[in-house]
């Protein structure tokens, strides 16, 4: 391998690692589960009953602000 080939290989390797890192770092939010509790979705208020600060399964601290749940967590 000459030096140009080594340089190109190194750049491709760095690019592949960068793409893999960005794909791993930015996962898609989960869809609404196909269970009985989520089948009767009626709006953000229903979500916040369980996923609000005082709910049984509150949102994580880094959850984006907003109450348009289906925008990101669309149903199946």
In eight-state DSSP terms, residue 43 is: -
Q: For residue 32, what are the CA distances in angstroms to 4, 11, 17, 54, 65?
A: 50, 40, 31, 20, 18
Question: What pLDDT is recorded for position 71?
Answer: 86
| 37 and 73 housed in the same domain | yes
Question: How many domains are contained in the chain?
Answer: 2
| 42 and 74 housed in the same domain | yes
Count CB-CB contacts under 10 A for residue 47. Answer: 19
Q: Where are the alpha helices (DSSP H) in the chain?
A: 3-25, 36-39, 44-51, 69-72
Residue range 17-36, pLDDT digits in tens: 999 988 888 677 888 888 88
- Of 5-9, 10-14, 59-63, minimum mean pLDDT range: 59-63
- Residue carrying the six token digits 């199946």: 76
Domain region containing 51? 31-76
| 42 and 11 housed in the same domain | no
């Amino acid at each position: 391998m000459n030096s140009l080939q080594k340089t190109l290989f190194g750049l491709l390797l760095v690019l592949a690692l960068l793409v893999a890192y960005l794909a791993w770092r930015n996962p898609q939010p989960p869809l609404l589960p196909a269970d009985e509790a989520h089948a009767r979705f009626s709006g953000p208020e229903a979500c916040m009953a369980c996923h609000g600060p005082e709910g049984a399964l509150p949102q994580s601290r880094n959850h984006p602000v907003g109450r348009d749940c289906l925008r990101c967590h669309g149903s199946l």
